[in-house]
Structure 1
């Protein structure tokens, strides 16, 4: 009976109804309505920078100070993780400078908050707090740490001595996370802290920037806020990471009506943009938001198609004069013994870089003093100070690349489509990089987004051609050393300190590791 024509018809009918409700206009209208809430919350603490959690959160406001990348999968039950490939250290530095920050995300699963906010970020704040405390104890950089050496009763986050500085290292989770799950997460915190400390992350700069420990707070459309009692951030004894979930607490599909037309609300509409956005990006949406929303559902698809085509023609004919973001460290005052951890960052320079950067998805990032630059292909022509280009974009072969003294185009696709595409091309990548870097040239590595394939290509180059202190040696260190996953992770952490939009996929990082271990394509197919 289950396969009867009647049942199949009901199934097809329900799918048709769902597709009809999940229209492009319904998604954009839902995002637009939810953005009003984001604007209201941002005005409660206007001094705090607003960050979008990629990718979904990026749709929900017209202007963000920066972005971050906390994955919900790292907070899924029995899959909790602190991922050193997504450290988001720039978020901690920004929060330290500004006194906190707000992170915007959404969920379509009938929950008030995505798991990225319920567990991933709370785990992240706790692990960072513990690593900072350990650093301060080790180097005696707080009065509390000095007292801790002479008084065993004074511990991290648990001190009654009014002369000591309290540093909260406890795990702060929302009330809806069960005690059982809390206990299982707490069992893993020490191990995650050790992983962070071993990764080569620049804990020193964060410890210098943060005056109070990080702590998450949760705000949704169901949260009750008395406007006459909104606290000043400076009054808290912690640095707030305010987690703003845009999803309406109403049912996932709620009929709404205006004077001209009706539409259905979609919670978390910004998620999985490939399935609904038809090539529209958040930047393009907000550039034309009023026109798209006010015109109604009947003309929405055509308007979006026209907007995308005009933007494509504009890029093809003229290119975008996007701002370049260049973050370079001060020289280290000493050697840490591994790739290359800065003992102290020039915080004034860091503050200038953060102040100048309001969010732009397109950026060019210099990787310290390695003569390597990473970014999006469309920005290659605007990368000043670059001598040669390695383009890994499978879709774009820009004529502007031929203007550089040396250039190489490689068609590399994501591991989702080809599990060995990057691996097959890495010998050519390393050979091209070696020939040019050995002549003192500055090499730009680019891909369509500047966030995944280009990051992994830089990882392969840094590991193959640089020693453990970040000095170009044409591969001598690599030829004499067995590269471990820990060493690879340290170098990836180094890259992510500069390329804050980096989002390397696990499949592509695995291909880099396989290449460095000498595995051929056949073993990974």
Structure 2
């Protein structure tokens, strides 16, 4: 039935369903129901670490979409291999909205990953009797699609082996298994298997109703309730929900919004003392002379040990931001504090000011006489802007072996593969490093621009930032 054919009665039904799907009360109860199922499965697979596919791991559904299958080196997830070896497998958790039993991330992206890793291992280490087959579930992948994906595995494995990533050897092949709320659960002796299982656990029950909802006693179950949280959560985040879960689940639909607002009410802050960044990760490929980290605070962070200097890029939320310091006045200080406004203006400033200022600062600080010297690069999330700055600094100041160069790298040695290698250096140490397309594009533009070829990043002093 088209929208033009809807009767007033059916329009009312559609509106009621929409309200049920976006109800905070229904969503939180649905999430709790899903979490109870995950807990039951985790007890059966006792000993396997439970990993959210959007947190510690990054398996993207679009890499499994039909005709767009991909093994993306930017999402290599190689940090999972030692974990799988140590615990004899992992349990990956994700969910999907109506119409599917498994999200594409679990039904296709993870199987692609397993097959590529196994094939790359087999080639790199000359392994006999090593299963490198592609395994998919017929409940989600047809024979034709399976064959089309299978044909691409050798190419992706060769790309992985040709990259700068180190591939830790594993004692057994890895293989996906699938579990959903419709599965028959039974105990499995993991040590008897000839492979390490990557258990793909779809937390949400498949709802047959076309609207993706199923009425329960006391609430309406919504499949994939965690999705689109900005539409229904009222600002509630996972940590606040689980901290106050019993209180939230005991409330009624009429009062739950007031309760959420009260839980999110900020406490009266004390005067904030500068704290060091968190999640500070040494980049091993450059012998831990570069660290990447994140920081969110009202005051700039303090210098984190063991770093001897720091670049802090403050991603501003408002349209106005202070001017950048002159490099000559900042070089004697161990911390360079730069402000990046949002939007298009911020992209221009990142290209023309943040990158050259950061490179010049790093060049002088890392060449100081104290030994050892290490530079922290910090932004609000530690995965985007700081990674882009890290790529640029490592491209200019470190050679292909990861050694600090006596002389800045000549512009003629900068290529897209060399920049990609620097990104892989970072991702090998920091698995969640995932700079945006815009950040990577600006880094590429910077090195291909006349300003870099002319030597601007090394010529300080560098003027305050330009207006976009």
Q: TM-score, normalised by structure 1?
A: 0.74
Equivalence map 1:78-97=2 (5 Å): 78-97=67-86
Q: Secondary structure at the match of 1:408?
A: strand
Which residues in structure 2 correspond to 1:158-307 (within 5 Å)? 166-175=129-138, 176-203=140-167, 206-207=168-169, 210-226=170-186, 230-250=187-207, 251=209, 252-258=212-218, 263-307=219-263
Which residue matches 1:454?
A: 386
User: 1:365 aligned to 2:328?
Assistant: no
Change (3 A) 1:118 1:434: same
Distance in structure 2 (CA, Å) of the matches to 1:12 and 1:445:
54
Can you give the 5+ residue segments of structure 2 that lack an aligned partner in the other structure?
322-329, 453-467
1:422, distance to aligned residue in structure 2 (A): 3.5
Give the counterpart of 1:434 among 363, 367, 381: 363
Superposition deviation, residue 9 in structure 1: 11
Assess, with a 3 A threshold, how the Cα gap between structure 1 residues 272 and 426 changes in structure 2: closer, same or farther.
farther
Q: Partners in 1 of 2:361 and 2:15 — Cα distance?
A: 51
1:514 maps to 445
State the distance in 1 between where 2:451 and 2:179 align.
49
Q: Could you tell me which residue of structure 1 aligns to residue 426 of structure 2?
A: 495
1:378 to 1:467, Cα distance in 2 relative to 1, 3 A: same
Other-structure match for 2:90: 101
In 2, are the aligned partners of 1:106 and 1:246 still within 8 Å (CA)?
Answer: yes
1:64 aligns to what?
none
Give, in whole Å, the separation in 1 of the partners of 2:157 and 2:176. 18
Question: In 2 relative to 1, CA 422–272 (structure 1 residues): closer, same or farther, beyond 3 Å?
Answer: farther
Q: In 2, distance between residues paired with 1:31 and 1:219?
A: 17
| C-alpha deviation, 1:102, in angstroms | 0.5
> 1:114: which partner in 2?
103
State the shift of 1:11 in Å: 6.3
Checking the alignment, whether the CA contact within 8 Å between 1:113 and 1:220 is kept in structure 2 is yes
Q: Which moved more, 1:418-427 or 1:22-31?
A: 418-427
Quick check: 1:455–1:502 contact (8 Å CA) kept in 2? yes
Per-residue deviation, residues 62-100 of structure 1 (Å, max 9, x unmatched): xxxxx1000000000000010001111111110011111
For residues 386-437 of structure 1, the C-alpha deviation after alignment (integer angstroms, 9 at most, x for no partner) is 333322232489xxxx9x832312215478x966564343222322322322
**1:40 aligned partner:** 40
Kindly tell me: are residues 4 and 265 of structure 1, through their superposed partners in 2, closer, same or farther at Cα, counting changes over 3 Å?
closer
SS of the aligned residue for 2:409 comes to helix
* Aligned counterparts of 2:450 and 2:16: Cα–Cα separation in 1: 47
**Closer, same or farther in 2 for the Cα pair 1:429/1:97, shift >3 Å?**
same
| Aligned residue pairs, count | 426
Q: Could you state the TM-score of these two structures normalised by the residue count of structure 2?
A: 0.82
Partner Cα distance (1:217, 1:480) in 2: 48
Q: Which moves more between the two structures, 181-190 or 76-85?
A: 181-190
Aligned position for 1:383: 304
Q: Give 1:8 shift.
A: 10
* Equivalences for residues 441-480 of structure 1 within 5 A: 441-473=373-405, 476-480=408-412
Distance 1:370 1:225, change over 3 A: closer
Q: Distance in 1 between matches of 2:119 and 2:156?
A: 10
What is the deviation of 1:52? 0.8
Question: Quick check: 2:174–2:195 contact (8 Å CA) kept in 1?
Answer: yes
**CA distance in 2: counterparts of 1:305 and 1:320, whole angstroms:** 28
CA-based RMSD of the aligned residues comes to: 3.2
* Partner deviation per Cα, 1:123-154 (whole Å, 9 max, x = no partner): 011111111111111xxxx6x3xxxxxxxxxx
